[in-house]
Amino acid sequence: MTYCVGLLLKAGMVLLADTRTNAGLDNIATYRKLFTFEVPGERVLAIMTAGNLSVTQTTLARLTEAAQHPEADETRSILKAPTLLNVAGIVGDTLAEVTVELQGRMERMSSQQASASLILAGQRKGGPMRMFLIYPEGNFIEATEDTPFLQIGEHKYGKPILDRVVTMDTTLAEAKKAVLLSMDSTLRSNLSVGMPLDMAVIEADALRVTERERIEAKDERFAELSTAWSQALRDAFQRIGWS
Amino acid sequence: MTYCVGLLLKAGMVLLADTRTNAGLDNIATYRKLFTFEVPGERVLAIMTAGNLSVTQTTLARLTEAAQHPEADETRSILKAPTLLNVAGIVGDTLAEVTVELQGRMERMSSQQASASLILAGQRKGGPMRMFLIYPEGNFIEATEDTPFLQIGEHKYGKPILDRVVTMDTTLAEAKKAVLLSMDSTLRSNLSVGMPLDMAVIEADALRVTERERIEAKDERFAELSTAWSQALRDAFQRIGWS
């Protein structure tokens, strides 16, 4: 599995992804699941991936190839599409196309299923920040003021903390803490989600990735955050009463 | 869905179940999912249920009928079986038998699946407290010192808090708080789990249900606990740092 979470706030967007992939419990590897695309000052995009690795890699490869193609036009290039909605359409179409191809192959050969879902976040010059969750079939939903976060993969363990602390007005510093604690709860409860983590921050109207960080398994600050949170939870648990 | 959780502690056992059942989002009802059986001074048993309501009701009805039958013997009656392991065997066999019957029916008539899982907790005179999670096929696992809690139904949202605060040495007062907070996180994040709640406490060696409580949707103590916990989480979140 995987856990990726994205927050869409007034101050900007914060994205966090784990890097564990597995084909069975005895075949574990580290693969990046957070990808960014920039035309500084013009457009910034980030894509996070969950699901079958051959689907997500092929989808990303085709999107990248289409964007780099010398004759790429606005109907195929995520860097040229006029709006973020158009970008979501291109990403969704590519994902659905790859999924159908690979599922056809897999159904012929074995009973395995292959699917994937994505989070797309971005902003183009003159437009608002937008964030989409794109389903295997290529359709998508969008983060809104009422629900300013999107999750893919193993999303349940880390949802209670987000439900409680995240609003559109959350600052970027708090948002980083929130996604890291949401990830920490998931890491503790589910072996199929693993370090290192990739975090990206895109400040509102910066039109570039303003902060990018890989947090390794031995990262002391993350260990401290995790310990402090556990201790704080236990203290709070002791303090509140039920009789 | 459903959320039921049971803790097996040195001091006793604490069980909590929600009461929501649904057949689609537009057909919601309240059904008890926590059942207790007592022969005071001799034996106490509790069963919590998750899954298809016709399976769980039929299973409970057969177990009850078998136990009340004037000629019930120790191979069929959960009140007479010599050990808790034998009780788990009877419950598992009954569940598997009902599941096979109903699935046969359902497969003939529609493509629906029907299955259920149970938590069984109990103690007999002279024996230790034991707690089992019984799967639809009738096989089971048991709570141990390393993992002193079992969950069925929508278990992920409420697991992080249990992972952090529950050990075999947790007191019964703390244990009640822990299961209520675990339920609170689940209620907030998942509509298919709903109030009222049923809680039961079985103190070690009491051989009876020592405390039984239905917590209604309008219960003020539960609302206060929930609010206090949210506030404590937000305060803790503010206090700890990440830079």
pLDDT of residue B241: 85
Q: Do B157 and A161 touch (CB under 8 A)?
A: no
* CA distance to A29, A195, B105, B154, per residue, from B28 (Å): 43, 40, 24, 16
pLDDT at A105: 86
Domain B3-238 homologous superfamily, CATH: Aminohydrolase, N-terminal nucleophile (Ntn) domain (3.60.20.10)
Contact B233 A233 (CB under 8 A): yes
Which tokens is B77 given? 């009656």
A154 vs A4: CA distance, rounded Å: 8
Q: What's residue B107's pLDDT?
A: 81
pLDDT at A113 over 80: no
- Is A104 a residue whose pLDDT tops 80? yes
Q: Give the chain B residue whose CA is nearest to the CA of A187.
A: B160
pLDDT (0 to 100) of residue B153: 95
Q: What is the pLDDT of residues A6-59, one digit of tens each?
A: 999 999 999 999 999 887 777 888 899 999 999 999 999 999 999 999 999 999
Give B18-57 pLDDT, tens digit per residue.
Answer: 999 887 777 788 899 999 999 999 999 999 999 999 999 9
Residue of A100 and B241 predicted with greater confidence? A100
Counting Cβ atoms within 10 Å, is residue A70 exposed (0-12), middle (13-18) or buried (19+)?
A: exposed
- Give the separation between CA B65 and CA B239, rounded to whole angstroms: 56
To the nearest whole Å, the CA of B157 is away from the closest chain A CA by 5
CB nearest to A229's CB, from B174, B230, B240: B240
**Model confidence pLDDT, tens digit, residues A190-215:** 888 999 999 999 999 999 999 999 99
Residues of B in contact with A236 (CB under 8 A): 229, 232-233, 235-236
pLDDT range class, residue B130, cuts 50, 70, 90: very high
B13, containing H or E segment:
strand B12-17
Contacts of B189 in chain A (CB under 8 A): 156, 159-160, 163
- What's the pLDDT tens digit per position in A135-185? 999 999 999 988 899 999 999 999 999 998 999 999 999 999 999 999 999
Is B235 an 8 Å CB contact of chain A?
Answer: yes
Residue percentage of chain B with pLDDT more than 90 = 82
Mutate to test the interface with A, among B233, B238, B239 (most CBs of A within 10 A): B233
Where b means 16+ CB within 10 Å and e means fewer, A10-35 reads: ebbbbbbbbbbbbeeeeeeeeeebbb
Is the pLDDT reported for residue B146 higher than 90? Answer: no
Cβ-based contacts of B229 with chain A (< 8 Å): 236, 240
Taking an 8 Å cut-off on Cβ atoms, the answer to whether B240 and A230 are in contact is no
- Reading phi first (left if > 0) and then psi (alpha if -120 to 50, else beta), residue A153 is in left
Which residues does chain A have within 8 Å of residue B176's beta carbon, measured at their own beta carbons? 242
**pLDDT bracket for residue A241 (50, 70, 90):** confident
**Which residues, 6 or more positions from A169, have their beta carbon under 8 angstroms from its beta carbon?**
A9, A10
Q: Per residue in B76-105, pLDDT tens?
A: 999 999 999 999 999 999 999 999 999 888
Identity at A141, one-letter amino acid code: I
ipTM: 0.83
pLDDT in the model for residue A26 = 76
Q: What single-letter amino acid sits at A8?
A: L
For residue B79, the model assigns a pLDDT of: 96
Q: How far apart are CA A140 and CA A119, in angstroms?
A: 9
How does pLDDT run across A79-102, given as a tens digit for each residue? 999 999 999 999 999 999 999 999
Nearest residue in chain B measured CA to CA from A240: B228
State the pLDDT at residue B28: 80
Of A157, A152, A158, A160, nearest in space to A136 by CA: A152
Whether B236 sits inside 8 A of A236 (CB atoms) is yes
Domain ranges of chain A: 3-239
Q: What is the mean pLDDT of residues A105-125?
A: 88
Q: Average pLDDT for residues B187-192, to the nearest whole number?
A: 86
The mean predicted confidence, pLDDT, of chain B is 93
**Residue bearing the bigger pLDDT, B145 or B151:** B151
**Which of B159, B240, B243 should be substituted to probe chain A, the one whose Cβ sees the most A Cβ atoms within 10 Å?**
B240
Give pLDDT, residue A218: 94
- Note whether A159 contacts B157, CB cutoff 8 Å: yes
Which is the CATH superfamily of the domain at A3-239?
A: Aminohydrolase, N-terminal nucleophile (Ntn) domain (3.60.20.10)
